[in-house]
Structure 1
Amino acid sequence: MTVQLLPVVNRDRLYQSLMDLAEIGKLPADGVRRLAFSPEDIKARQLVWRWMAAAGLSVRSDAAGNIIGTLPGKQNAPALATGSHIDTVPKAGKYDGTLGVLAGIEVARTLKESGLQLQHPFEVIVFTDEEDSMIGSKAIAGTAALDPDQYARKNQPSIQSRLRKVGGDWQQLATARCSRQHICAFVELHVEQGQVLETAGKSIGVVEGVVGLQRYQILIKGAPNHAGTTPMELRQDALVAAAHLVLAVESLAKTRPGRQVATVGSLTVWPNATNVIPGEVQASLDVRDLSKAEIVGLVDALKAEMIQIAEATQTEITITPVLDVDPSPAAPVIQQTITQVCDRLGFSHMPLPSRAGHDAQAMGRFTDMGMIFVPSEGGISHSEIEYTSPEQCAQGATVLLQTLLELDRVYPC
């Protein structure tokens, strides 16, 4: 395979775009707050729309409020697409999501300046509300829930009115759905949101896929009783049972083969009084892995241990599923192409899973998907102090450019 080495993306221009967009919704501590559908989000979307148009993209929005910029290809073929989101969590940094969108625009600028036209159309997508409902990417994938009540948010208008703010139309949501006949491959550039690349000293992460996720609510029932008058051997302490369960989750995640992670992140204790033996505990369980079978295997093993814990502590333990999201593997051809591009460019790289959700996860439900990670300093993300250097941003964007150029030759028209 040969990769045509074109001029790399303009590092300074890309980084200036990041800084300019960060001025919209800027917080006093230099972070960013652009909640989806907010005035700040709308203002940022308008700016990105103008940047897309100036880069030569034909810009439109769909019924889910996604902004889609398109460069025509030489052939009437499915598009090669990239993109991410520009909405943020309440106290965010400048890079999460935004880098993927602005890198896509920078790719379009570079193609225009180089006088290059792909065989396939090229699309840059700004997905709606990634940080909450992911309605934008899910609508494109055809997996969005069609019950508006599922998008109800406390102190927020209806999803119908929220979508109208960004040019969407709830009644026409199904028209946003795409297929492989429209998009043959989607590649998203994103900051890692972890410390794996930095710890390993690697420049680029070749994402193997977005992990699957199962969440459960665990209820432990014991017997509340006086903390002073109840002998230890007569206690039915729900919190003691919960402690054993937390340790069992940690042990299973560490000792089973694979790269699964499992977390008990929430405990609610009743009656939660200093002089009362806990009679009831509610606990959350979050299990993630690239393999659905490994997730199921860990949960089954935990259920077996729960029986033993309940018997030893004289408690009753039940587990109820809350959420089940299948893994979304990256296409092998895209992983291979990213790897080969990194080798040609002299960028160190490594494979790794994405343990956080991304718009690419939804896109992988209907077409070939891949992701490129660049390091997050200290592994920090969703924070006002998240940081990725200008050079690292440009390296990721250059890998994105070269990957798309190679995929343009790999995928048939």
Structure 2
Amino acid sequence: MIVTSVPLINSDRLNRNIAQLAQIGKLPNGGVSRVAFTREDILARQLVQSWMIDAGMTVRIDAAANIIGTYAGKIADAGALATGSHIDTVPVAGHYDGVLGVLSGIEMVRVLHENNIVLDHPIEVIVFTDEECTVIGCKAMAGNTVNDPNYYRRNDETAIEVCLEKAGGDWSKIATAKRKPGEIAAFVELHVEQGGILENTGEAIAVVIGIVGQYRHTVTITGRPNHAGTTPMNKRKDALVAAAQVVLAVNKLGVETPGEQVATVGYLNVLPNAVNIVPAKVELKIDLRDLSQKHLDNLLSELKQQLIQIAEATKTEIVINQALHVLPTLAQAKILDAISQVCQQLNLSYSYLPSRAGHDAQEIGRFADMGMIFVPSRAGISHAEDEYTSPEQCSQGANVLLQTFLKLDRLYQA
């Protein structure tokens, strides 16, 4: 039971809004499809803006089509305390990923407004654009977009200029979405865990210590195609045999290296992919993640040494190229402390976890103090129709968010 002398969020209203938003893009078996810039995404954005206005916020849309709801503070030039997430989904999704963070932020402001509570700092609730694909919204705020619209072209070949215009943005002014230093004093994102650790430990809340970096590389292995029946084993340059050794080396790197890194080969393309031909070429993709940039760099260095050895042993050529280079973002210590103290005050059990998935907070943390709050995901399932976090768990996370903002308003002197 939560015991507190300050206002709490309206649990019924929060969960009713989550259910209502899930009606937009609803799939036959209960899931949701609300891919960014589709009709469903635009309708959802319109509904969320109306809720922001009803909660007492003014609303603007920046050039990256981010929706920014602002609840004014007492001190006009104080940096904002910001929260939010995304409402776009993967093609087949559940009700909570991203949505919980946005709607909890709106509910938090609504409760403050209803109780005539105005903080020293303004509060911003942000709906970031296209988190599930290009993450253009949060990257634009951080000033980290790629200056080439073709980079953001959709899979159906729709230009990003068209997409942003539909959502109220403007590619030609994308640079104006970058926030100035100090505009956001602190950003705290509430999110479902998308993993099973909290459920396994039975704890109500995870205080997120940081968001891991992601290093992705494409590895191309070139051998020699030849007849599978007539080519002796010791005369082969088998690209798939080399690829198998690379897969095992990556797995061994993740399992046996001291630390909490993860290392994955999740993509493999074999050419010519015929049963009676010695494989000539293999392309595979490697994903390395950890909370320490130094550790990631060391893992990559070790992997490159092993690739040289595998190439020599298999008489193949192995080339590795960087595909993605996302640096880790650590949570700010005083935000960690504030969330932890709130959990204690609300009698909610908690632990400290890294986020092994990317979030909008990762980019915002490049220019502002950042923190994250996780609530459990049943069976660790996300990006699926049976994603589930109970109404009680949603409400607990939203209450932690609200109380954290009250505490941060005092910690960050305007």
TM-score of the superposition, structure 2-length normalised? 0.96
Paired residues of 1:78 and 1:180 also in contact (CA < 8 A) = no
Shift of residue 197, structure 1, vs aligned partner? 1.3
Paired residues of 2:22 and 2:32 also in contact (CA < 8 A) = yes
User: Greater shift after overlay, 82-91 or 146-155?
Assistant: 146-155
Tell me the residue number matched to 1:72: 72
**Aligned AA for 1:124?**
V
Is 1:368 the counterpart of 2:369 in the alignment? yes
Tell me the residue number matched to 1:182: 183
Alignment map for 1:129-148 (pairs within 5 Å): 129-148=130-149
Moved over 6 A (4+): none
Quick one: structure 1 residues 4 and 408, their matched pair in 2 at CA, closer, same or farther if it must change by over 3 Å? Answer: farther
**Aligned AA for 2:216?**
R
Alignment map for 1:293-308 (pairs within 5 Å): 293-308=294-309
Shift of residue 229, structure 1, vs aligned partner? 2.2
Structure 1: distance between partners of 2:81 and 2:357: 23
Structure 2: distance between partners of 1:180 and 1:393: 32
Paired residues of 2:4 and 2:345 also in contact (CA < 8 A) = no
Structure 2: distance between partners of 1:83 and 1:330: 16
Indicate the percent of aligned positions where both proteins have the same amino acid.
59
User: Greater shift after overlay, 230-239 or 379-388?
Assistant: 230-239
Tell me the residue number matched to 2:410: 409
Shift of residue 4, structure 1, vs aligned partner? 7.1
Is 1:42 the counterpart of 2:42 in the alignment? yes
The C-alpha deviation readout for 1:72-121, integer Å capped at 9, x for no partner, is 11112111010011111111110000110000011011112222111101
The C-alpha deviation readout for 1:185-233, integer Å capped at 9, x for no partner, is 0000001111121122211111111111111111112222222222222
Paired residues of 2:263 and 2:289 also in contact (CA < 8 A) = yes
Structure 2: distance between partners of 1:362 and 1:404: 20
Shift of residue 5, structure 1, vs aligned partner? 4.1
Structure 2: distance between partners of 1:159 and 1:4: 47
Tell me the residue number matched to 2:10: 10
Structure 2: distance between partners of 1:310 and 1:301: 15
Is 1:24 the counterpart of 2:24 in the alignment? yes
**Aligned AA for 2:71?**
L
Structure 1: distance between partners of 2:370 and 2:50: 27
Tell me the residue number matched to 2:195: 194
User: Greater shift after overlay, 183-192 or 37-46?
Assistant: 37-46
Tell me the residue number matched to 1:60: 60
Paired residues of 1:222 and 1:278 also in contact (CA < 8 A) = yes
* SS of 1:318 mapped into structure 2: strand
Paired residues of 1:5 and 1:402 also in contact (CA < 8 A) = no
Paired residues of 1:141 and 1:179 also in contact (CA < 8 A) = no
The C-alpha deviation readout for 1:338-366, integer Å capped at 9, x for no partner, is 11111111111111111111111110111
**Aligned AA for 2:283?**
Q
Tell me the residue number matched to 1:387: 388
TM-score of the superposition, structure 1-length normalised? 0.97
* SS of 1:339 mapped into structure 2: helix
Tell me the residue number matched to 1:118: 119
**Aligned AA for 1:361?**
Q
Structure 2: distance between partners of 1:24 and 1:166: 16
Structure 2's unaligned 5+ residue stretches are none
Structure 2: distance between partners of 1:6 and 1:146: 46
RMSD: 1.4
Structure 1's unaligned 5+ residue stretches are none
Quick one: structure 1 residues 157 and 228, their matched pair in 2 at CA, closer, same or farther if it must change by over 3 Å? Answer: closer
Paired residues of 2:81 and 2:405 also in contact (CA < 8 A) = yes
Structure 1: distance between partners of 2:219 and 2:405: 45
Paired residues of 2:204 and 2:349 also in contact (CA < 8 A) = yes
The C-alpha deviation readout for 1:279-337, integer Å capped at 9, x for no partner, is 22111111111111111111111111122222222222121111211111111111111
User: Greater shift after overlay, 313-322 or 398-407?
Assistant: 313-322
Paired residues of 1:137 and 1:362 also in contact (CA < 8 A) = yes
Structure 1: distance between partners of 2:299 and 2:182: 38
Tell me the residue number matched to 1:171: 172
User: Greater shift after overlay, 43-52 or 273-282?
Assistant: 273-282
Paired residues of 1:141 and 1:178 also in contact (CA < 8 A) = yes
The C-alpha deviation readout for 1:27-71, integer Å capped at 9, x for no partner, is 111111111111111111111111111111111211211111111
Structure 2: distance between partners of 1:247 and 1:47: 49
Structure 2: distance between partners of 1:157 and 1:312: 46
Is 1:161 the counterpart of 2:162 in the alignment? yes
Tell me the residue number matched to 1:352: 353
**Aligned AA for 1:235?**
R
* SS of 1:140 mapped into structure 2: helix
Paired residues of 2:182 and 2:368 also in contact (CA < 8 A) = no
Structure 2: distance between partners of 1:275 and 1:334: 60
